[in-house]
């Protein structure tokens, strides 16, 4: 079974500052994928960044980067130069990555971290 | 191209009534997923379609829930005899599938349908 834990229900940051959201996970698979999704008040889930477990290099997408610690099963998201539009619920998600049938294609989500960017 | 679309955006129904929620996936995506998001909770997997294969219904919470996907594209989630605990946001997502392609595993979500059962 896969689990994803986000231990910070809420966080806040001042505009232009940097914030890090935490995520830990557990899986017995080796070739899995990790994602961060953003859900603003509009409800639309937006993919922020993805990381393949086989890659040692941390993924980056503009102001968003991750710190992927495979041995520690940690996958934190760093948002640099925070903007008001970054205010949203952020979900960490795990794809176990197996190609075989069964339940291995389901994304397992954490409960989310509500990030508020203050002006 | 167009993203995943869902309709209606909001649905208010009386307890005991049936409802149908619709999802239009991204063109070319063979995999389609339904999730439920209750207030303050993460996303709960409901059902998964992949091409012409039999769907995985293991996440459906009761036999009042069913879903179909016609022609490998549009999907309808039906909830019969709705109960107040069915109130939630129902999200649909699609992807290129689970073929193992590195670029095919991201799921793209629709805006969801907020269902309120009174």
Output the pLDDT for position B53. Answer: 82
| Residue in chain A lying closest to B42 (CA) | A111
Nearest C-alpha of chain A: how many angstroms from B48? Answer: 8
Output the pLDDT for position A100. Answer: 47
Q: Which residues of A touch B110 (CB under 8 A)?
A: 44
Kindly tell me the burial class for residue A55, based on how many C-beta atoms sit within 10 Å of its own C-beta (0-12, 13-18, 19 or more): exposed
- Token pair listed for B96: 């290129």
User: Which of B31, B58, B108 lies nearest to residue A47, judging by beta carbons?
Assistant: B108
pLDDT of A103 higher than 90? no
Of A101-105, B37-41, B51-55, the range with the lowest mean pLDDT is A101-105
What confidence tens digit (pLDDT) does each residue in A49-78 have?
999 998 889 999 999 999 999 999 999 999
What confidence tens digit (pLDDT) does each residue in A1-32 have?
789 999 999 999 999 999 999 999 999 888 88
Query: Which of the four pLDDT bands, split at 50, 70 and 90, describes residue A99?
Result: low
What confidence tens digit (pLDDT) does each residue in B62-89 have?
999 999 998 878 999 999 999 999 999 9
Residues B75, B93 contacting (CB under 8 angstroms) = no
Output the pLDDT for position B94. Answer: 92
Query: Which of the four pLDDT bands, split at 50, 70 and 90, describes residue B1?
Result: low
Output the pLDDT for position A102. Answer: 47
Q: Which residues of B touch A23 (CB under 8 A)?
A: none
Q: Is the peptide bond between B89 and the residue preceding it cis, with omega within 30 degrees of 0?
A: no
Contact flag B42-A47 (C-beta cutoff 8 Å)? no
Residue A25 or B98, more confident? A25
Q: Which residues of B touch A46 (CB under 8 A)?
A: 109
**Average of per-residue pLDDT values in chain B:** 89
User: Which of A43, A45, A111 lies nearest to residue B41, judging by beta carbons?
Assistant: A111
Mean pLDDT of B14-23: 98
Query: Which of the four pLDDT bands, split at 50, 70 and 90, describes residue A115?
Result: very high
Q: Which of residues 72-111 of B touch A (CB under 8 A)?
A: 89, 91, 93, 98-100, 102, 105-111
Interface test with A, best of B11, B106, B111, B116 (most A CBs within 10 A): B106
- Token pair listed for A26: 């557990």
pLDDT of A106 higher than 70? yes
Q: What percent of chain B has pLDDT over 90?
A: 63
Q: What percent of chain B has pLDDT over 70?
A: 92
Q: Is B41 on the interface with A (CB under 8 A)?
A: yes
Output the pLDDT for position B97. Answer: 67
């Amino acid at each position: 079974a896969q689990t994803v834990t986000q231990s910070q229900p809420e966080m806040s940051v001042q505009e232009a500052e940097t914030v890090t959201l935490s995520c830990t996970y557990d899986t017995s698979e080796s070739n899995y994928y990790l994602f961060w999704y953003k859900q603003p008040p509009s409800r639309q889930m937006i993919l922020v960044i993805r990381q393949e477990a086989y890659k040692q290099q941390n993924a980056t997408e503009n102001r968003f980067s991750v710190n992927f610690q495979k041995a520690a099963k940690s996958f934190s998201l760093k948002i640099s130069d925070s903007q008001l539009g970054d205010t949203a619920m952020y979900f960490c998600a795990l794809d176990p990555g197996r190609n075989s049938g069964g339940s291995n294609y389901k994304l397992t989500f954490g409960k989310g971290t509500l990030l508020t960017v203050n002006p | 191209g167009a993203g995943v679309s869902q309709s209606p955006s909001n649905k208010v129904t009386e307890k005991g009534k049936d409802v149908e929620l619709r999802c239009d996936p991204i063109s070319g995506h063979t995999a389609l997923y339904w999730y439920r998001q209750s207030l303050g909770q993460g996303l709960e997997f409901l059902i998964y379609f992949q091409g012409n294969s039999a769907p995985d219904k293991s996440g459906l919470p009761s036999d009042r829930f069913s879903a179909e996907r016609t022609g490998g594209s549009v999907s309808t989630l039906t909830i019969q005899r709705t109960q107040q605990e069915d109130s939630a946001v129902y999200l649909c997502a699609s992807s290129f599938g689970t073929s193992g392609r590195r670029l095919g595993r991201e799921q793209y979500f629709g805006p969801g349908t907020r269902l309120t059962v009174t």
